[in-house]
């Protein structure tokens, strides 16, 4: 069975600038894959090559087995794209835009699908409004609806929640999860690392045009970050020296503990019990911590 997206040895040069350097990865059926990196890392260039806005200098891209360079129509029919930039459509209303976009895929009567998307994305009450009358958040939802009119099995989300409020962001997260349950595979690029941590099964960290790390999101966090353990002693007559100790803030002792070490093991090594401490807090590592760790070793 063909995978939703396969990128092999992708290179993209702009003159002497190497924007993408030998990038390879797959997206599995029903997977949400996050492509993360700082500005200028090459994310947009990769997306542009997938959707055929740019021609790769080298390498191959396949969407459900269709080579995007050799069979672009078949490949495009299998995918939908939500671009980063808001697109203006003059004097067409919301529903008309979806009808027109359906026509691009040869779908003459798509009323049921369009009505479903208008309801699902909170656009039904705005269906007769001109696009120029919509708020930025509503325009963002319209972009998502446009990408889904032809029921693609691969969805490319390029910074889908950029510039939207937290309420809309969370509603889009919920919708993305529903799409995943329906079997849609998703490639997500985002600057919001908490968004990627919340949604993505796997992530690829991109820097200077290269993927420097790829793996399951939860495993990367455990492998690359520590938990922050903070507590106070009920009595101050114990000297606490340990390799994991970071500092003391007032009377609070702070430790950076790898996931391979349990809190019980830490306390045993410190000759402490839970009865010796108060105000114990444990802060788990995050994808942002892992991201900073990786880029710190690569140079931003």
Three-state helix/strand/coil letters over 43-76: HHHHHHHHCCCCCCCEEEEEECCEECCCCHHHHH
> Is pLDDT above 90 for 297?
no
Q: Answer yes or no: do 155 and 268 share one domain.
A: no
> Is pLDDT above 50 for 299?
no
Q: Answer yes or no: do 83 and 129 share one domain.
A: yes
Per mean pLDDT, which range of 1-5, 98-102, 222-226, 228-232 is the poorest?
1-5
- In angstroms, the Cα distances linking 256 to 200, 245, 263, 266 are 26, 6, 11, 10
Q: What is the pLDDT of residues 8-20, one digit of tens each?
A: 999 999 999 999 9
Burial state string for 77-94 with b = 16 or more CB within 10 A and e = fewer than 16: bbbbbbbbeeeebeeebb
Look at residue 293 and tell me if it is in a domain. no
| Owning domain of residue 272 | 226-284
Burial state string for 36-72 with b = 16 or more CB within 10 A and e = fewer than 16: bbeeebbbbbbbbbbbeebebeebebbbbebebeeee
Find the mean pLDDT for residues 174-189: 96
> Is pLDDT above 50 for 173?
yes
> Is pLDDT above 60 for 287?
yes
> Is pLDDT above 90 for 153?
yes
Q: Report the alpha-carbon distance of residue 125 to residue 118 in Å, rounded.
A: 8
Q: Answer yes or no: do 210 and 235 share one domain.
A: no
Q: Answer yes or no: do 94 and 128 share one domain.
A: yes
When divided into structural domains, the chain yields a total of 2
Q: What are phi and psi of 85, to 5 degrees?
A: -85, 140
Q: Report the alpha-carbon distance of residue 6 to residue 57 in Å, rounded.
A: 17
Q: Answer yes or no: do 175 and 191 share one domain.
A: yes
| Of the residues 201, 221, 241, the one at which a domain ends | 221
Per mean pLDDT, which range of 121-125, 195-199, 230-234 is the poorest?
230-234
Per mean pLDDT, which range of 24-28, 143-147, 170-174, 209-213 is the poorest?
170-174
- In angstroms, the Cα distances linking 217 to 65, 113, 151 are 26, 33, 27
Q: pTM value?
A: 0.89
> Is pLDDT above 60 for 202?
yes
8-state DSSP, 16: T
At 300 the pLDDT is 44
Per mean pLDDT, which range of 109-113, 153-157, 256-260 is the poorest?
256-260
């Amino acid at each position: 069975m063909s995978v939703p997206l396969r990128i092999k040895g992708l290179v993209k040069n702009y003159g002497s600038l190497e924007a993408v350097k030998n990038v390879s990865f797959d997206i599995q059926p029903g997977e949400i894959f996050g492509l993360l990196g700082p500005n200028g890392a090459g994310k947009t260039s990769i997306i542009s090559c997938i959707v055929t806005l740019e021609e790769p200098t080298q390498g191959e891209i396949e969407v459900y087995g269709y080579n995007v360079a050799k069979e672009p129509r078949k490949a495009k029919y299998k995918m939908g794209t939500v671009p980063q930039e808001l697109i203006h459509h003059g004097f067409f209303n919301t529903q008309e835009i979806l009808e027109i976009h359906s026509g691009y895929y040869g779908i003459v009567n798509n009323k049921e699908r369009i009505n479903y998307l208008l309801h699902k994305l909170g656009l039904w009450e705005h269906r007769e409004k001109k696009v120029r009358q919509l708020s930025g958040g509503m325009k963002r939802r319209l972009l998502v609806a446009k990408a889904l009119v032809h029921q693609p099995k691969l969805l490319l989300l390029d910074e889908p929640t950029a510039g939207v409020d937290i309420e809309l962001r969370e509603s889009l997260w919920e919708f993305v999860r529903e799409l995943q349950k329906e079997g849609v595979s998703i490639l997500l690029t985002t600057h919001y690392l908490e968004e990627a941590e919340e949604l993505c099964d796997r992530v690829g960290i991109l820097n200077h045009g290269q993927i420097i790390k790829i793996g399951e999101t939860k495993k990367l966090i455990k492998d690359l970050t520590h938990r922050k353990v903070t507590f106070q002693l009920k009595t101050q007559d114990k000297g606490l020296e340990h390799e994991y100790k970071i500092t003391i803030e007032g009377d609070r002792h702070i430790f950076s503990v790898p996931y391979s070490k349990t809190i019980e093991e830490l306390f045993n090594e410190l000759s402490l019990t839970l009865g010796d401490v108060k105000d114990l807090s444990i802060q788990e590592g995050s994808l942002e911590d892992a991201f900073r760790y990786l880029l710190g070793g690569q140079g931003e």
